[in-house]
Amino acid sequence: MPTSTSEQAQLAERARVSIQNSGLVQREVARHIGLDETKLSKSLAGTRRFRPSELTDLADVTGVTVNWLMSGSDQTQGVSAPPPSRILPTRHPENSDQAQKRRKIIESAWWLLARRGYSSVRIADIAHACGVSTASVHYYFSTKREIFAEVLRYSVKLAFDRQIAELHAITEPVSRLKRLIELQLPAGERGRAEWSIWLQTWAYVAVDDCGKENHAQGYRRWIQTVEDAIVFGQQAGVFAEVPAADLAIELTSLVDGLGIKVLTGMLTSDQMHDHIESFIDRNIVRAQGSTQ
C-alpha cells in the first residue's frame, strides 16, 4: 500500500480517473463497493487511505487492476507476478457505457457459470441476468465459449487484484506466503465461485486443446507468484534452501488437490487452510538453528 503522501495522492488521482472512465457516478461506485459515500469522497481526496478490500472492489467495479491504481501500470513487478495483458480482461476501443455493459455481462456470466456450470447456462440466461436482450449479449460476444474465455480472464484479474492489494503491507516472509495462499482458498461464496471457474477450465482443457495456452499462462502466473514468495523467504534466511521452483510446484499441487476436495464436500475450507499451513511449517519454513 502507498506509504508517502505523494503516493497516496497519486493513488487517489488514479481512483478518480478510474471512476470517471467507468461510466458510473461516485454514488453508484460507493454502493457497489459497500462503502459510505463520505468515506469514498475522503479517499478520493487523499485524506483517507483505501483499505485493501476497498481497492480490490474499486478495481472490480471500474474495470482496472489494483496494480494500476497503485502504480499506474498493469505490468509493474511486485509481490504478485504480473499477468500478461492477453490473460487479463480484454480491452476494447469503446466508450464508458459500452465498457460498463461488457463488464456487467462478464460478471453476471461469471456467477452463473460458477453456480450452474457451463453446459447448463445459455446466452439467454446471461442476458436475463443482465436485464438485456440476447442480441445485446451477442453484440459483445459471438459465442458462449468466448464468454467463458473472458470469464477466466476475469478470474485471473480477481486473484491478481487481491494479491497486490494485500501483500505489499506484509514484509515478514512466513506471514506473506501464508496470506498469499489464504487469499486463494475456496472460502465464502466468491471464493468457491472462483474455484468453480478454474475447475471447469481444467476439465475443459483436459479434453480440448482450444484454450490450453490461456489457461497455462494464467496458471504459470500463479506458480510464479508462489515461487517469488518462497524466494523472498529464502533470501531472508527463514525458508529451507530447497529449489524454490520445486517447492512452488509441491505447494500449488497441494492447494489444487485440497481445493477440489473442498468443492466436492470432502473437506471444509478451514481444514484445507490448516493442512496448507502445516505443510508450509514442515517443509518450507527453516527449523530454528538449522544450518542447511
Residue 235: Cβ within 10 Å count: 11
Fold adopted by 77-283: Tetracycline Repressor; domain 2 (1.10.357)
Q: Which three cell numbers stand for residue 157?
A: 484479474
Please report, for residues 12, 44, 144, 239, the alpha-carbon distance to residue 290 in angstroms, rounded to integers and kept in the order given: 46, 48, 54, 10
How many angstroms separate the CA atoms of 68 and 74, rounded? 5
Q: Where exactly does CATH 1.10.357.10 map onto the chain? A: 77-283
pLDDT of residue 86: 67
pLDDT of residue 292: 45
- Up-side HSE of residue 139: CA atoms within 13 Å toward CB? 12
pLDDT of residue 288: 56
Q: Answer for the pair 73, 112: CB distance below 8 angstroms, yes or no.
A: no
pLDDT of residue 181: 96
pLDDT (tens place) for every residue of the chain, 292 residues total: 555 788 889 999 999 999 988 888 899 899 988 899 999 999 999 999 999 999 999 998 888 889 899 888 776 556 777 676 666 777 777 777 888 899 999 999 999 999 999 999 999 999 999 999 999 999 999 999 999 999 999 998 899 899 989 998 899 999 999 999 999 999 999 999 999 999 999 988 888 877 677 778 888 889 999 999 999 999 999 999 999 999 999 999 999 999 999 999 999 999 999 999 999 999 999 865 554 4
Tell me the pTM.
0.83
pLDDT of residue 279: 97
Q: Which three cell numbers stand for residue 168?
A: 505489499
Q: Which three cell numbers stand for residue 256?
A: 489444487
Q: Where exactly does CATH 1.10.260.40 map onto the chain? A: 1-76
Query: Which option is the CATH number for 1-76: 1.10.260.40, 1.10.3720.10, 3.40.50.12780, 3.30.360.10?
Result: 1.10.260.40
